[in-house]
A and B are shown apart, each in its own frame.
Chain A
Amino acid sequence: MSIKEFYKQHLLNDELIHKTGFNPYYVNVESGLDDSLIIDGEEFINLASNNYIGIANDERIKEATINAINKYGLSLCATPIASGCADLYRNLSQQLSDFVGLESSIIYPSCYQANNGLFSAIANKDDVIIIDRYAHSSLVEGVRAVGCKIRPFLHNNLENLEKNLKNSSNHKQIFVVTESVFSTEGSIAPFAEIVELCEKYGAIPVIDDSHGIGVIGKTGKGILEYSGIEDYQGIYTASLGKSIGNLGGMISGKRSLIEFMKYSSSHLMYSTAITPAILAGIEKAINIIEEEFDVLGGRMWKYRNKLRNSLIESGYNVKDAEAPITSLVTGTSEKTILFAKKLYENKILATPFIFPSVPENQGVIRMIVGANLKDSTVDRAINILKEIKHYILNNK
């Protein structure tokens, strides 16, 4: 193949962008996550970030981060297994473990990396991985890299999961992989029941709590608290870049497994360690959540209920959801992008999901109202959505 042919083969299909006259992706953000968001010099109401409890721009976290930069500089310029493991790393690993109620943790530069790296360290070709068919790309890609049998099961469907478990007994290790909160629509996995099924069939549960940690559970500790699971025997992963308001990903579980992972997970061992400043920021964020979740979480749920109820009353088709995520059903990719454009023209930033991120013609626009927004901002967003509802309701 010639160089010319190579580049011709790897061209972006931007037909939809031209057709709709709008590209909602890679917007040019010029501010932090305050009450408003500045995009290309203009103020927007931000319903797009995963800043659930609104702490991403918290002054105390910024101060902790700056202090760490002053002490450690920007990077230790090494992998954690070499000399990249700051004392902050050990302290935060334990703090995160205690927070979610597990024995031990490791911290990766991202949760995508954690999920990608997990399975190559613990699974083999003769195993089977049973995975919710709507699981995140990071889990799917991680599972695919193993080269073992993959059995997807119907989303949050216990009967279908059990059928798959029954037919997997001839494999050496059986893993059941799912997410706590499915972020496109806001459904929550029946995880206590999934864990029970795993116990019944000798499978190892793996839960990705990226949209659950700092969000669900009475004190914001995530899916294990939410589901009332004590003495969890499985594997837990989570992003530290959503409600925790920072960057990185964690894998937690039994101490023996985490010790094994420290010396066998290439995604951890051979990546430059997450920087001390990030670790200090996460440590502060966890302290804030432990002390203030009742207030921050209360505001998050209040805004979620306000937006959700108003949209349903206005006639919008809103996805069923248990989590503080409100997704409008918009249909085809074109209709989805056109409604995102309408929102953008009205200075609201929300997240459109189109095929292949969702099944064909099942596009949605996701809205997350961070607790950092003012009451008046949420009211303004609701009023705008009411004003433009005819646009989506007539566009069927």
Chain B
Amino acid sequence: MEIADKIISIIKENTECKLAIDRDTNFINELKIDSFGRLMIIYAIEDEYSIEIDENDIENFKTVNQIVTALELKYI
């Protein structure tokens, strides 16, 4: 599975979101994911890839694309 698809699947699983999500969906403005929802997504990604994401990076994650880019550049 591509990283982006994996991230979308993690977001859906951890927020029980039934809306369509693509690489550019803003999960704060469009999906209204709250701070706990964001934490759940981040920890699920960390668990999936056995990594630890920097808190400063987490603040900037608003779309799937932003997460994928950061993962590819810095973490995996």
Contacts and interface: CB of A to CB of B under 8 A. Distances in A.
Interface of A: 133, 140, 150-154, 160, 163-164, 167, 355-356, 359-361
Q: Which of B16, B34, B43, B47 has the most CB of A within 10 A?
A: B43
Given A133-B37, A154-B14, A154-B16, A359 B43 contact: no
Contacts of B32: 355, 359-361
Interface in B15-49: 16, 32, 34, 36-37, 39-40, 43, 47
B34 A359 contact: yes
A133 B43 contact: no
B47 A152 contact: no
Given A154-B14, A154-B16, A133 B47 contact: no
A160 B16 CA distance: 11
Contacts of B47: 163, 167
A167 B14 CA distance: 15
Q: Is the interface of B mostly helix, strand, loop or mixed?
A: helix
B9 to A, nearest CB: 14
Nearest to B36: A152
Nearest to A150: B39
Given A151-B43, A154-B40, A361-B32, 9 more contacts: A140-B36, A150-B39, A151-B39, A152-B39, A164-B43, A356-B34, A359-B32, A359-B34, A360-B32
16 contacts: A133-B36, A133-B37, A140-B36, A150-B39, A151-B39, A151-B40, A151-B43, A152-B36, A153-B40, A154-B14, A154-B16, A163-B47, A164-B43, A167-B47, A355-B32, A360-B32
B43 A167 contact: yes
Contacts of B39: 150-152
B35 to A, nearest CB: 9
A79 to B, nearest CB: 34
Nearest to B48: A167
Contacts of A356: 34
A152 B33 CA distance: 13
B74 to A, nearest CB: 20
Q: Which of B14, B32, B36, B47 has the most CB of A within 10 A?
A: B36
A159 to B, nearest CB: 10
Nearest to B16: A154
Contacts of B14: 154, 160
A359 B32 CA distance: 8
* For the complex of A and B, 5 pairs with smallest distance between CB atoms: A360-B32, A152-B36, A167-B47, A133-B36, A152-B40
A54 to B, nearest CB: 35
A153 B32 CA distance: 17
A215 to B, nearest CB: 26
Contacts of A140: 36
A356 B37 CA distance: 13
Interface string B39-74: 110010001000000000000000000000000000
A164 B13 CA distance: 13
Nearest to B15: A154
A31 B25 CA distance: 51
A133 B32 CA distance: 15
B17 to A, nearest CB: 10
A227 B36 CA distance: 27
A97 B34 CA distance: 37
A356 B34 CA distance: 9
